[in-house]
Amino acid sequence: MTATGYAPGRTLPLRVEFVRQFRRRRTMVMFALLAALPWILVIAFQFGPNNNRGGGNGLRISDLATEGGLNFAAFALSVSASFLLMVAVALFCGDTVASEANWSSLRYLLAAPIPRDRLLRQKLIVALTYSAAAVTVVPVMAVVAGTIAFGWHDIRVPGTGELIPAADVLPKFGIVILYAMVSNLVVASLAFLLSVSTDSPLGAVGGAVGLVIVSTILQAVEALGGLREFLPTFWNTAWLDALAPVPDYSGMIKGAAVAVTYAAVLLAFAFRRFRRKDVVS
Amino acid sequence: MTFLGGRRGLAVLAAVLVAVAAIVWLVWPSDGPPQGEDVVIPVVDGPADDQKVLIDASYFAPAGGGKAPAVLLGHGFGGSKDSVRDQAGQLAEQGYAVLTWSARGFGRSTGEIALNSPDYEVKDVRQLIDWLAKKPGVLLDAAGDPRVGMAGGSYGGAIALMTAANDPRVDAIAPSITWYDLADALFPEASGAGPAQGVFKKMWAGIFFSAGGSGLNPSTQADGLARLLSGSSGQPAPDGITPEQAQCGRFLPAICTVYQEIAATGKATPEAIELLRRSSPVSVQGRIKVPSLIIQGQRDSLFPLGHADLNAKAIAATGAPVEVAWIAGGHDGGDAEADFVLAQTLNWFDAHLKKSGAATGEGFTVSRDGGRDPGTRQNVLLHAEGAAYAGLGGTVTTRLDLLGPDQEVATPPGGSPAAISSVPGLGSLLGGGAGGGGSAGASLDLPGQVATFQTRPLDTALTVTGSPTAEIKVYGEGEVTLFAKLYDAASGQLAVLPGGLAAPLRVTATPAGTPVKVALPAIDRRVEPGHVLRLSVTTTDMAYALPSQPSVHRVGLGSTTLTMPVDAGLAAPVTGPAWWTWAFPLVSVLAAAVILLTGRPRRAAIAPDAALAEVPLEITGLTKHYKNGHRAVDDLSFRVEKGQVLGLLGPNGAGKTTTMRMMMGLIHPDEGEIRIFGEKVVPGAPVLSRLGSFVEGPGFLPHLTGRDNLKLYWQATGRPAADAHMEEALEIAGLGAAVERPTRTYSQGMRQRLAIAQAMLGLPDLLVLDEPTNGLDPPQIAEMRRVLRAYATKGRTVIVSSHLLGEVEQTCSHAVVMHRGRLVSAGPVTELLSRGALNGSTRLEDVFLDLIGEKA
């Protein structure tokens, strides 16, 4: 017999977990930073010394940032995707369980009782949702900031300088954002696994970021050859191909495959580990 | 639990070690290729077979021993046997006996350069074949006739062709980036007038001859190209050079004389043409009858694709199998595709020398720009393949309309300034990115010197493979030198001159207009929709000898048709997504399922015990070891009835907290079980909803207020808000206005009280409190005792742990005494005290010390 009104399937509703996490200073600061970044970049471009662009050949994505809102968004994503967004994702996913353990609130949630699998599932959903929001907020805010600052124009492709109509590019931007989310799954799931394994939120976040750094370093080792394709960070910039005049999705497919491969196993380990774990914090 | 503790830690460590070992094994450099054995082979050559020459050679025995077919590997102009040492080693590793040699006049070989003449170099190589026939490791077709193939690039490719024509013992050849007609290579003419009317390719000719001219000091072994770039002034002049040597280097004097003449005049004399053609496959048409793999470069203004075309046609006419490959690079730079060339060569020799492998069956392979690799961001090449080589005319043609008025073009005096299409030897510097499919190139035409004609923008993409043709008309007086180029142009971008190639023309203009059919340079290029093709006719080109007299002519279209050859049979191999892009996620999801399913807690023996349904807590045989072997709880059994306030008493480390954690399902017991209201406690057991707990300190979200913490906690249980009895709980906490402040601002006591209030939310039937009075001041302690006693009166049960004896004495009705994980005593507090009376003391403290056996 249970207490009246208790049902395992109703414990820790997503809404409650969203509220619990949202009111945290960490969440607010991260979102404020992500939302402010495009504006900071706009100011940097507006007031920075004017660099004269080098010819038609070898146009870089940074040279084209002031072409319009969409170009600016592509630039903002390219500078933030490799590290900032990854840190944000690691934060939301690595902090979620470990901080509860750190506050000692985890044991009271488990004794409420929230079944362990359910607790983890709800926390994972919320953490991934926040991560997805973090990945989305930068390009969306960048489109807004870039359009206000530089106007709404067609996107100019780096390298060749070709123009692609804005209307054609918008759906591709959706794909890019989606891909940025998927490619961050590795970081998310590793951070989550570390989060259930340690009581230190910083350890979980730092561990996941550390993996990315190690992977990036290994990526630079040419001697690894084709093996590098299976490094979790190798395909992080593959989304650039979606914005090419002739979009090439092969890199994104590979990147998504690698991400899903790592993520599924890491998440499975997280659940298995948490089920068997003695919660002593 | 430590993160990497115990056996699982070992397993992780082992997995990491295996992964590291695998990576190291994969990237560990393998043993270098076999090192050749240096030999000096004396040969006799010359028209009269009277010149003794020492050929410096290296022999690489076939890997694996036994008898193997031999490969003669030639080097390029200005190089030596050392330039091809790596390829020789790689061929030997694949089971070929390889002989490389420095051609006469190069490296340490003696003699003079005769440009692969049948009287000199060809005779040398025939004697090298004789030498090979005597090597024990070489497979023989007959006595003195080894099974031998020849390969090499440029100068080394031409000797393969020339030897194959002159020695029937050669069984297969794979020449690359070499010539068909050296006279035509140096004096090209795109309307088919022949080298006598050709325009002198002065820059290439100069580089060509200076490469043979340097290296007078036989001990100098520098690479030819390095020598080209450093310039001859970089090397101290060797002692004792005669004026003749200074002028002719190591060239045969006859060749030197001819070169001096043509370089000075820019015109090909009949003698020069005769001499150059003697060293060219054009003079041995029909005599090369062996399987031939002809490889030519798309970035090659020295020996353009047309030379390969003529070689292939001449050999194919004899009935011998011929395959053609157009690689990306060439003499003008770009990606030389060394690996691809080696692989193709091996494939060819495997099929025609070893006769083991099957030929690819692809008669024609073209390297095309494959865009950027999405991972490495490097340009990659695709190899489009076709069953048969179609020639420069393509399998079909597409006709486009050229538009443009007649235009005046000026020939500047002295030929300067001149347009740039390619810079011999430095072409790759001009062509934007190196590689890049090898067909992109920027080019410069000078205003006033150029007439341009354009097609309309293309509706669909067009892939040109071969030599486009157009017809122009030249109006005016006298002879004019023109260069025709076909650009791929699009608005907003620099027009691209594929391969950096120009077609030179020498036209005698007439006032009525001289019609000229122009065979534009052979290319392979995909022209995107929206692009236009632009025919430029210019009067100058930096790479060629130009007339010194100024003149003006008018150039117009002879026909509006631009004929573009297309090879419909060519197709890049279809590469779908890599197999692992679907296999890996699939395997991983399956692995994840296995990991989750095998990690499932066993669901046996969970049936509730109906007899215990009214018993708040029964513990039987409970045991818990920690990782270090310490027994925190050892065979503990006791039972708590409704309405009791039970004190769990014991010194620090007695196992009280561990027991409570097991009651909450936080720790898995090793043995024994806990039943709450008859239901076994497992992690997340629903019956825990009837348990309120406060163990080892409070646990709040520091950023939320006390009230929000309690509210969200209750919402997390998913139970109706009305059941919470929130206000009663907050009253017990007694925080006053502080409930609206974030808990991080609370004192220890305030948190403690809020935590006890949280444990009481929903008025659980069983309340478990661990050291509840820690950190409270005396009035609060008294209040807490009252609350707890009152809580138990309504049929609810309270378990309080403490190491303070007075606490238990004053609060509890019953007590369980633990020591070192074991149960020492259990029963009503009064009973404990009366037992103490027997020993002379009714103080619980004395009873306790007595029980745990530490009485003084």
Least CB–CB distance from B699: residue in A6, A11, A104: A104
Note the pLDDT tens digit of each residue in B669-699.
999 999 999 999 988 889 999 999 999 889 9
Which tokens is B509 given?
């203009």
Measured between alpha carbons, how far is A194 from A203 in angstroms, rounded to an integer? 8
B228 pLDDT band (50/70/90 cuts)? very low
Residue B706: pLDDT over 90: yes
**Alpha helices (H) in B167-289, listed in sequence order:** 182-186, 202-213, 224-230, 243-248, 253-265, 270-278
Q: Domain extents for chain B? A: 37-183+280-354, 188-234+241-278, 396-566, 614-851
Angle between the N-to-C axes of helices A166-183 and A69-81, in degrees from 0 to 180, rounded to the nearest 10 = 10
Residue B265 binned pLDDT confidence (cut-offs 50, 70, 90): confident
Chain A residues within 8 A of B492 when measuring between CB atoms: 56, 161-163
**Cis ω before A113 (30° cut-off from 0):** yes
Burial B459-495 (b: 16+ CB within 10 A, else e): eeebbbbbbbbbbbbbbbeeebbbbbbbbbbbeeebb
B369 to chain A: which residues are within 8 Å by CB? none
B147 compared with B370, residue with greater pLDDT: B147
The answer to whether residue A6 sits within a structural domain is no
User: Closest approach of chain A CAs to the CA of B591, in angstroms?
Assistant: 7
Question: Which pLDDT belongs to residue B235?
Answer: 42
Q: Which of B24-38, B107-121, B137-151 has the lowest mean pLDDT?
A: B24-38
Q: What are phi and psi of B694, to 5 degrees?
A: -145, 105
Residue B494 pLDDT class (50, 70, 90 cuts): confident
Query: Is A241 domain-assigned?
Result: yes
The per-residue pLDDT for B122 is: 92
Query: Alpha-carbon distance B854 to B841, whole Å?
Result: 15
Total domains present in chain A = 1
Q: What pLDDT was estimated at residue B212? A: 65
Domain at B614-851, CATH class:
alpha beta
Tokens at B240, concatenated: 């004792």
Give the ipTM: 0.91
Decide if A118 is inside a domain. yes
Q: Which residue of A has its CA nearest to B24?
A: A224
Question: Which residue is closest to A198 within chain B, CA to CA?
Answer: B3
Q: Where are the beta strands (DSSP E) in A160-219?
A: 163-164
A161: left (phi over 0), alpha (psi -120 to 50) or beta: left
Where in the sequence is the domain holding A117, given as residue range(s)?
13-45+57-276
**Considering only the top CATH level, what class is B396-566?**
mainly beta
Contacts of B593 in chain A (CB under 8 A): 268
Phi-psi region of B415 (alpha: psi -120 to 50; beta: other; left: phi over 0): left
Max mean pLDDT among A261-275, B75-89, B212-226, B822-836 falls in A261-275
Give A-chain residues touching B582 at CB under 8 angstroms. Answer: 257
Contact B688 A276 (CB under 8 A): no
Q: Cβ of A264 and B683 within 8 Å? A: no
Residue B602's pLDDT is what? Answer: 63
Nearest Cα neighbor of A270 from A109, A58, A116 is A116
Q: Does residue A1 fall inside a structural domain?
A: no
CA-nearest residue of chain B to A18? B712
Separation in Å, CA B702 to CA A16, A31, A144, B14, B531: 16, 20, 35, 40, 64
Among A20, A113, A234, select the one facing B712 at the smallest CB separation: A20
Q: Is the pLDDT of residue B430 over 50?
A: no
Q: For residue B588, give the chain A residue with the closest CA.
A: A261
Distances (CA, A) of B714 to A206, B131, B730: 32, 95, 13
Q: B691 or B22, which is more confident?
A: B691
Nearest to A83 by CA among A134, A145, A125: A134
In 3D, which of B758, B777, B786 has the Cα closest to residue B697?
Answer: B758
Query: Is there a contact between B781 and B751 (Cβ–Cβ < 8 Å)?
Result: no
Contact A163, A63 (CB under 8 A): no
* Chain center to CA of B281: 41
Tokens of B395: 């399998």
Answer whether residue B469 shows pLDDT above 90.
Answer: yes
Between CA B585 and CA A233 the distance in angstroms is 16
Interface size between A and B, measured as CB pairs under 8 A: 220
The CATH fold of domain B37-183+280-354: Rossmann fold (3.40.50)
A204: closest chain B residue by CA? B3
For residue A72, how many C-alpha atoms fall within 13 Å in the half-sphere facing its CB? Answer: 29
The whole-angstrom distance between A229's CA and the closest CA on chain B is: 7
Say if A8 falls within a structural domain: no
User: pLDDT by residue (tens digit) across B566-616?
Assistant: 988 888 777 667 788 889 999 999 999 999 888 776 655 567 778 888 899
* Surface-to-core class of residue B249, CB atoms within 10 Å of its CB (0-12 exposed, 13-18 middle, 19+ buried): buried
Angle value at C-alpha A166, between A162 and A167, nearest 5 degrees: 130
- Residues of A (218-247) whose Cβ lies below 8 Å from B: 223-225, 227-229, 234-235, 237-238, 241
Identify all chain B residues contacting A254, using CB atoms and an 8 Å cutoff: 374-375, 577-578, 581
Orientation of helix B270-278 relative to helix B253-265, angle to 10°: 130
The larger pLDDT score, comparing residue B845 to residue A100, is at A100
**Gap from A128 CA to chain B (nearest CA, Å):** 18
> Taking a C-beta distance cutoff of 8 angstroms, is the pair A257, B583 a contact?
no
User: B37-183+280-354 and B396-566: same fold?
Assistant: no
Question: If we measure between CA atoms, which residue out of A10, A215, A207 comes closest to residue B720?
Answer: A10
